[in-house]
Amino acid sequence: MDFSWTAQQQQLRAEAKEVAADAVARYGWTADSWINGYCPPFARELAARGWIGISWPKEFGGAGRPAIDRMIIAEELIGAGAPVGSYWVAERQMGPSIFTFGTADQQQRYLPAILAGEATWCIGMSEPGAGSDLASLRTRAVRDGEDFVVNGQKIWTSFGAVSDFVYLICRTSADGPPHAGISELIVSMDSPGIEVRPIKDMAGGAHFCEVFFTDVRVPATNLVGVAGAAFKQTMRQLEHERGGIDRLVSNHALYRRALDRADMTDPLVRQEVAQLETRYRLGRLLVYREALGQAPKGFSAATKLFCTEHERKVADFTARTFGADAMLAGDVSRGLCYANSYTIMGGTSNILRNIVAERILGLPR
């Protein structure tokens, strides 16, 4: 099997490296830059290059290029800590959901702004008390004439305070099993009845938000897909979220700083670096399989599990390398504080282990 890159892919990677380095020089770097790096001007620059939606179908405004090209760009940008957050969620999940399940009117209304890097979206999924269990969500949308009326609360909503739209996962029916009766709505964040409360995290960031919905009226035309049948749609979204390169390289910039400082004359340090490099390459292979469509259905849970466990090991190595200086090293300190979140957000490691055991391996509950 030939694992080499084509000349076009090598050129694309070299270009992405240059763009990433330039962005970091102008805007700075952050750990987990696809969540922490909110920078609309950089999004518009990438859009001008045609790099937002590069793997979307051409009929929806994308470039129609293979998913592996998008992965190459993302690996270099996020690996360097370039600020991709303002468009990332919309390009990765919302756009594909809308051009797969949305109406022609929704596609014409929302996709152009995403491709232009001019719209920030958040996902209204997690709720207090529901944890990583989507079927337990309680936010309700009740049909009233030509509208849905939404009441409930979401939490851990990244970019809730700066988003133009929330892609809301809510319950439109209580009939049947817990995973039934779930729907997806597009909700404008300036709708009356929405209150956003940012949550400051231990790393000093405030991208997480609580979002409260009180009698928020949403046009019924904003329903994506079939009412009450969105569980499978949401699972498909999670495939994009869990199986991407962003779950492997979120703190790669931190790792590079640790390598610059590490004592490579120490055999134990060299051994640890070798283990990290090996795990990184194994993680890439898992992500490649996702990008190439070769991974089994639901395997993104295993990919996310392996990759984010690797990210925690990178943080441990960085902390040992910097020692007490880690508490005084600015961005390194923030990166280390933030690292605790990798194995929690998007599904905790224990939840993902359950998914792997039950849905992939077919083990009894």
User: What residues act catalytically?
Assistant: 241
How many Cα atoms occupy the beta-carbon half-sphere of 315 within 13 Å?
A: 24
Q: Is 341 helix (H, G, I), strand (E, B) or coil?
A: helix
Find all residues with CB under 8 Å of 264, minimum gap 6, and list them: 270, 273
Spatial distance between the Cα atoms of 63 and 44, rounded to a whole number of angstroms: 16
Spatial distance between the Cα atoms of 151 and 165, rounded to a whole number of angstroms: 17
Give me the helices (H) in the chain, please: 7-27, 33-36, 40-49, 67-80, 85-89, 95-101, 104-115, 231-242, 246-249, 252-261, 267-291, 300-322, 331-338, 349-355
How many Cα atoms occupy the beta-carbon half-sphere of 181 within 13 Å?
A: 17
Find all residues with CB under 8 Å of 194, minimum gap 6, and list them: 166, 187, 211, 212, 213, 216
Given a contact cutoff of 8 angstroms between Cβ atoms, the answer to whether 230 and 291 are in contact is: no
